[in-house]
Amino acid sequence: MFQKILIANRGEIALRVLRACKELGIQTVVVHSTADADAMHVRLADESVCIGPPPSRDSYLNIHQIVAACEITGADAVHPGYGFLSENAKFADILAAHNITFIGPSGDHIRIMGDKIEAKRTAKRLGIPVVPGSDGAVTEEKEAKRIAAEIGYPVIIKASAGGGGRGMKVAHSEADLEVALQTARSEAGAAFGDDAVYIEKYLQKPRHIEVQVFGDGFGRGVHFGERDCSLQRRHQKVWEEANSPALNAEERSRIGGICAKAIADLGYSGAGTIEFLYENGEFYFIEMNTRLQVEHPVTEAITGIDLVHEQIRVASGGGLSVKQEDIKFNGHAIECRINAEDPRTFTPSPGTITHFHTPGGLGIRVDSGVYSGYKIPPYYDSLIGKLIVHGRNRVECMMRLRRALDEFVVDGIKTTLPLFRDLVGNADIANGDYDIHWLEKYLAKEE
Ligand code: ADP
């Protein structure tokens, strides 16, 4: 087992990882920018190293500074959290070259999944169902038209290097296609330095359902069930649930089984998430994330398994603590992402939190890095905490969520808490009846 883990992240996820390390008796080092000197994870860590000024590229994305911090403190492993360097293959390779363990998959697996054309090709080869579309990059208009006619309109043109919901264009007819192809290519080139784009069928009312997988480092793969993350705004997840209200046990074990086998065949090691769109009973792969997800706590709530413990165990060569047959799904869990944003306009609302009171009681978990008197710096994303609620079934979970939202107090800044108080009373949400467009339509109506 590792002696000392360096946590290369900030905010709630840095604290989340720190807690797992403490439970496992592992020393912790955190790195932070000058803007985060007062952060909770810095206060609670055994050691901390300031690695630069506020902008991420000079601190949390500065590979040389982070490697230097490992050498100075003698850390033998790095947990990257999510975002920042968590899906940076070069970072994983550099750590390996310094004999420091990257708590995540190999650089090669990160590279494959970071290139969406390659990821889709790999998924298809591994027997994962994919969205019908082009086999690789498409550059010629003629070819684009031929493929679109074959799969049928509407189609979506996506950047191979895309991420964060950027670099996508929908074409509803052949007349739209030329412009969509050209704009998608030039936007991809400008945003990602790679103008490769591909075409797939545009699904009209899908849900976003993702499967939590793990490779144990010995060639075995398991799945921890799915999460439904259909409630999104601008392709950003807002509310996540496990299990999905749309799947039955048979569908769950079928798609889970396909994913676990794919992970084993790939020789993948560590945590991963295979994302699908789901429509009319069919799953369509869209991408794989090779890291821990923001929404992992809903899976932890229904399985009772600490996924960060498992990541650390696998990275240290100790394998998973559970086999597939040990993983049982109990009840229902929902996560609300609480952002420091205006709940109507979604503009960021940094500043000082004058009062912070979190709900408690059975089935409630709050993962947050903030506290009363904490000043939210304006340089990073606006997630300040996550409320995760667990109940024996979805109805109980929703009742408990409503109660927990009433108890939650964040004064001094604006947050998205009022949005969740509205959503928890909505009939479609109560029925689990929503697709990936539901939230944007709802917000448009509210304006
Ligand atoms: P990113 O890496 O930018 O997040 P994804 O491939 O995961 O890109 O897609 C992000 C979102 O875009 C999906 O959650 C879905 O809302 C939408 N999307 C992507 N592909 C399709 C498709 N073929 N049909 C309909 N919507 C899509």
Burial of 268 (0-12, 13-18, 19+ CB in 10 A): buried
- Predicted local distance difference test score (pLDDT) of residue 414: 98
Asked whether the predicted pLDDT for residue 165 surpasses 80, the reply is no
Q: Above 90 in pLDDT, residue 351?
A: yes
Is 191 within the bounds of a domain? yes
Beta carbons of 169 and 157 less than 8 angstroms apart: yes
Asked if residue 447 has pLDDT above 80, the reply is no
By C-alpha distance, which of 159, 151, 179 is closest to 235? 159
pLDDT digits (tens, 9 = 90+) for 186-219: 999 999 999 999 999 999 999 999 999 999 999 9
Residue 31 lies in a domain: yes
> Looking at the structure, do residues 358 and 283 belong to the same domain, yes or no?
yes
350 and 285, same structural domain?
yes
Does the pLDDT of residue 159 top 80, yes or no? yes
Model confidence band, residue 39 (pLDDT cutoffs 50, 70, 90): very high
Report the largest interatomic distance among the alpha carbons of the chain, rounded to a whole angstrom. Answer: 62
pLDDT at 401 exceeding the cut of 90: yes
The answer to whether residue 118 sits within a structural domain is: no
* Containing structural domain, residue 426: 207-446
Contact 165 CB / ligand 1 (< 6 Å): yes
Mean pLDDT of 22-42: 97
Number of domains in the chain: 3
Q: What is the CATH number of the domain that holds 35?
A: 3.40.50.20
How far is CA 41 from its chain centroid? Answer: 20
* pLDDT level of residue 228 (50, 70, 90 thresholds): very high
Strands 236-242, 77-79: pairing kind: unpaired
Lowest mean pLDDT among 44-48, 159-163, 316-320, 357-361: 159-163
CATH of the domain at 189: 3.30.1490.20
Cβ 267 under 6 angstroms from ligand 1: no
Rounded (5°) CA angle 430-433-437: 120
> Taking 80 as the threshold, does the pLDDT of residue 164 lie above it?
no
Start-end of H helices in 273-322: 296-303, 307-315
In a domain, 121, yes or no: no
Tell me the C-alpha distance between 428 and 396, whole Å. Answer: 16
Q: Which atom of ligand 1 is the closest one to the Cα of 206? A: 25
pLDDT, one tens digit per residue, over 83-100 is 999 999 999 999 999 999
**Cβ(119) to ligand 1 under 6 A?**
no
Q: Which helix (H) or strand (E) holds 249?
A: helix 249-266
Ligand 1 contacts CB of residue 77 (under 6 A)? no
Residue 229 CA, closest ligand 1 atom number? 14
Residues 292 and 245 occupy one common structural domain: yes
Task: Flag whether pLDDT at 332 surpasses 90.
Answer: yes
* pLDDT above 90: residue 446: no
122 within a domain of the structure (yes/no): no
Angle at 370 between CA 365 and CA 374, to 5 degrees: 155
Q: Please choose from 168, 209, 439 the residue to mutate so as to test ligand 1's pocket, defined by most ligand atoms within 8 A of CB.
A: 168
Amino acid 310 reads E
Q: How many Cα neighbours within 13 Å face the side chain of 364?
A: 17
Q: What is the mean pLDDT of the chain?
A: 97
